[in-house]
Amino acid sequence: MPFVKRTSAKHGQSSTDTRKIFIGRSHELQFFIEHILTPEDPSYNIVSISGNGGVGKSTLLARFIDEIYSPRFKEYCLIALVDEQQPTPFMVMEKFAEQLHVKGKFKKALDQYKEILRKQRAEREAPLETFLGKMPGLAGSIVKDVPFAGGFLKEGTEAASEFLVKKYRYHQLLKDTQQEEDPIGDLTKAFALELNQLANAHVSTDNSKIKGNRRVILFFDIFERLAKEVSPWLLDHFLEADISSNVVLVIAGRKPIEHSDTDNLKRWLAYYDNNVIYSISLNSFSYADTCTYLAERGINDKDEGSK
């Protein structure tokens, strides 16, 4: 089970000032402070933020991150963020680990996983002559099993050899993958272990007062571009691990997390039933909020009318 209760990387600054202009969303910010950052155990371990494009999801994430870096929270919170540039589970874990400075067993597991990918890629791309050289007599011994023109080939032609080898390669790759047991699962277990070590560490403030366990917050932005691969990974592997209750996932996309992966809708709904997920739906700004936002950027009706 994820987010087990225990008993005892900086995000880069934007090149513009737009993210510093934060109009509205005060309720969402207050929720994040009161229910995620302040309690000894967060009230929820997954926050799903949804809304149409341009409604301010990324800006809200940026404001959350700014709050984490405030003097009140920065000494015991760690954060990491991924977006559409990390579209696969192993890239997500690698990026998180880089920002959280995670090494240890995860680094070893990551190197092993990359080696598996390298070998599989080499097998797929190896020329036919190289493969036949490693398997002398393969084509000649079983080429009679290759269907051809309603019958079976009785002698090893080049076309038959190529057909056979391609078929053999395919099945061999499947066999090799099975022999490797569960590489992405093993990698996830190593990642969860290192994550828990970070999250369950006691930290002190500058005056040596114990704040409690560290809070680790993992942000997923533009989740609609990650959902195809990352959502099944979260359900099948990450959330099946014993994850510390001090770990929080903040997932922002155009749809709520359960609707980003309709094949697993019921599985996500179970986390709502267990009060693991809190959903935030962002609507468009009100007219008053829009006017305030434009004013903050130095734009007013008079300026627009003079154009």
* Residues facing residue 279 across a β-bridge: 48
| Measured distance CA(248)–CA(4) in Å, rounded | 12
Q: What Å distances lie between residue 19 and 5, 158, 177, 285, CA to CA?
A: 35, 63, 45, 15
Single pTM value for the model: 0.72
pLDDT for 287 beyond 60: no
Q: DSSP character for 110?
A: H
* Residues facing residue 80 across a β-bridge: 218
When mean pLDDT is compared over 149-153, 200-204, 269-273, 298-302, the highest value belongs to 269-273
Name the amino acid, one letter, at 127: P
Higher-confidence residue: 140 or 46?
46
* 3-state secondary structure (DSSP) of residue 270: helix
Report pLDDT digits (tens) over 213-245. Answer: 899 999 999 999 999 999 999 999 999 999 999
State the pLDDT at residue 303: 52
State the pLDDT at residue 217: 98
- Calculate what percentage of the chain has a pLDDT beyond 70: 64
**Domains, the chain, with CATH or none:** 23-101+185-305 (3.40.50.300), 110-179 (no CATH)
Q: DSSP character for 16?
A: S
Q: What Å distances lie between residue 117 and 109, 121, 123, 166, 176, CA to CA?
A: 13, 6, 10, 19, 11
| Measured distance CA(97)–CA(83) in Å, rounded | 14
Report pLDDT digits (tens) over 115-131. Answer: 988 887 787 766 655 55
Among residues 280, 281, 271, 273, which one has the least CA distance to residue 45? 271
